[in-house]
Structure 1
């Protein structure tokens, strides 16, 4: 998901704050492409879902144990600038933030010339934004991704005590036990929750199994497979009384259930928002942004936990 970070629009409290993130296709974006059909939206999504992304995760993990600082992205080139700035967020000021900016990047987005200036780091390292914000962020952030059917829907990135669920929500906690996401000796394994990958990637065997089950499900409704460019599995649009299958991710202590958000909607078809990671190796699974829609994800780096709960992400409060 390509986003623009609008720093000047901030809802701030003493123990947390919120940043508004504008999608590149939003009507508020300077890159706004105009009214797009559902199929055009789906095609633009796939331009940022590349095999290079999976290869990057594999390479990143393989070199993580090295004491030598490396910055490797297969197939991509960039010229970066590292600077210190005083970050003014309307009601708060954070002095001497280390902030990187790319100026000559060749990333696999379809925008020409490339207008993406960097990636917002939210990891546990000392130079990530959330670490530099210190007590203001409390090593805690959250987001809730709305459906991209509306040009006016944006994402609000929340920090600190702002990164919380609404009152009365049922919360599912993922308490990672020691070694749960350990990488195997050959560098493979693990799972990534990635809002930047629209589609969810599964190992070849798991993807084929899912594909077969989904095909059988729609076959019972007399809905045969349908060919659409760029997608592996598509069907005619179901009728109003033909429900979508419910796909569930079973984690150690919680289940992530997705229905319509497991599919990309077009004018005359729906396509499964999953893909095979093939023989690329690396991560066992990448949980993509589409299946995260209408869930709030809260990442707590201090306790190494991820929590999620259903939420109407179109609301800004």
Structure 2
């Protein structure tokens, strides 16, 4: 799942294409749907953005926000969505329901440029909103503060009042925006904390370490993503992971074997020596903190 660092890198890449510094902004030629279900709004018709110029590209949490003249195209890539940029999009029209492309945006200026919103797998969760005000997007209004905007004192106070396990707290978008399954694994590994530890039971010193880990892991990931084209961002993320997606490999910190706890729709990875006192966690198939 794309998380804040990758969406930030994607926003920077798209900004270089759509609102280049010192150059004319790109303009929309057309938007086609390959999946009618991906569009979650009906108030602004797709045809209304034709010929509009892009005025900015931003990110909030895991949402990508493309600003046009008087409207916003907001996208959430969900579990398996991604944007595939092309300087020479094919001329053929999309066939709805065929293939992984959910949406195609063609630029009229420069002609031929544009991107496809793709989504792998059979469970489709990516969402697109075309709105006149960003506040009209339901998920955006529910987001908590950006992870890197939260100071240590605020973070400690917030976690003291959170009743869930610490991994669930980090992934709760209404609590802190932008962190998902992968980076919560990496942050907890860096902080040497069990994902099952209760957030409200952690001491101030532990929470201070966790806050530092959150900032250091995310800042390093943002730095690694900066300047990379869209097609390289996901592979770059995988290469930087120390425990997430590394089940059976050796922990780069202590040399223990990275373990996994599986759930119905996802899994977490951790190092027993670094995080759980050397004790493997029970591999349960259901858990309240990953709902």
**By the TM > 0.5 criterion, same fold?**
no
State TM-score, norm by structure 2. 0.28
Structure showing the higher strand proportion among its residues: 1
More helix by share: 2
